[in-house]
Amino acid sequence: MDVGAALAPLYDPLMRIVGWTRTQRGVLTGADGSILDVGCGPARLANGSHEHYVGVDRRMAMLSQGPGGTTLVCADAAALPFGDGTFDTVVSTALLGLCLPAERRPILREMARVCRGTLRILEPIAPLDPVRRAVALSRQPVRLEELRTAGWHVTCVGQDNFAGVYTLVCATPTVRPASNP
Ligand SMILES: C[S@@+](CC[C@H](N)C(=O)[O-])C[C@H]1O[C@@H](n2cnc3c(N)ncnc32)[C@H](O)[C@@H]1O
């Protein structure tokens, strides 16, 4: 049984109660152009945000909680069904920190491939003390070095959010997609 799928209807109400939904929106501050939200869950970043928003999640049960009229795609983040450099901005919140480094590597590479602009992630970043790691349910918080080896140039590391557990990190792909003729 997929526990994540079974709990999907509870996810959004719970995240609103604990204040995550408000914190999460901070990832969009300064984002522009077309946006891909990887591991979007119920796609709350789509609400009233940008015109060209696409959410991807591997759980249909999560996507079915999302707002109508939004482009939501059921796919694995390690094999994104989009061409190189499709999106101006790629965002991701509370996805990478839940994965182990071996799972994150192909996801980060795929994000770099489809991004022609900026990556903005809100994730638990190492080093993180055991209490904060437990709050984030993160066995291994993301190391900035992982972004670099996956093809990202880290451009900013923001202030800690959500009781110091999540940090906004921005990055640009080190290899730019060839521009269309
Ligand atoms: C903790 S939720 C975060 C949802 C949303 N981003 C937020 O901040 O509320 C993690 C989401 O990532 C999705 N997910 C986990 N691994 C994934 C993968 N490899 N590809 C696509 N989605 C994935 C899960 O289905 C879940 O909806």
Question: pLDDT for 20-76, tens place per residue?
Answer: 999 999 999 989 899 999 999 999 999 766 679 999 999 999 999 999 889 999 999
CA dist 86 and 115 (Å) reads: 6
pLDDT at 179: 56
pLDDT band at 115 (very low <50, low <70, confident <90, very high): very high
pLDDT at 175: 87
Percentage of the residues of the chain whose pLDDT score is greater than 70 = 96
pLDDT at 178: 66
* Atom from ligand 1 closest to the CA of residue 21: 9
Provide mean pLDDT across the span 102-128. 97
pLDDT band at 177 (very low <50, low <70, confident <90, very high): low
Select from 23, 95, 120 the residue to mutate for testing ligand 1; criterion: most ligand atoms less than 8 Å from CB: 95
Q: Residue 37: count other Cβ atoms within 10 Å of its Cβ.
A: 29
Return mean pLDDT, the chain: 93
Residue 122 backbone zone (phi > 0: left; psi -120 to 50: alpha; other: beta): beta
Residue boundaries of the structural domains of the chain: 31-157
CATH classification code of 31-157: 3.40.50.150
pLDDT band at 127 (very low <50, low <70, confident <90, very high): very high
pLDDT at 49: 61
CA dist 55 and 28 (Å) reads: 14
Find the 78 Cα to ligand 1 centroid distance in Å.
12
* Atom from ligand 1 closest to the CA of residue 75: 21
- The pTM of the full predicted model, rounded to 2 decimals, is 0.95
pLDDT at 180: 44
Structure tokens at 129: 């003390």
CA dist 36 and 92 (Å) reads: 8
* Atom from ligand 1 closest to the CA of residue 11: 9
Find the 14 Cα to ligand 1 centroid distance in Å.
15
> Where would I find the H helices in the chain?
3-18, 20-25, 60-63, 101-114, 130-135, 144-149
Task: Spell out which residues line ligand 1, taking CB within 6 angstroms.
Answer: 4, 15, 24, 39-41, 57-59, 62, 76-78, 93-95, 98
Beginning with the edge strand found earlier in the chain, give each strand of the sheet holding 53-57 in spatial order: 71-74, 53-57, 35-38, 87-93, 115-123, 166-173, 152-161
Of 8-12, 45-49, 73-77, 149-153, which range is least confident?
A: 45-49
Q: Residue of the nearest CA to atom 9 in ligand 1?
A: 41
Find the 180 Cα to ligand 1 centroid distance in Å.
31
Provide mean pLDDT across the span 132-155. 96
179 half-sphere exposure, CB direction, 13 A CA radius = 2
Is residue 152 a contact partner of residue 122, using CB atoms and an 8 Å limit?
no
Residue type, 174: T
pLDDT at 169: 97
pLDDT band at 181 (very low <50, low <70, confident <90, very high): very low
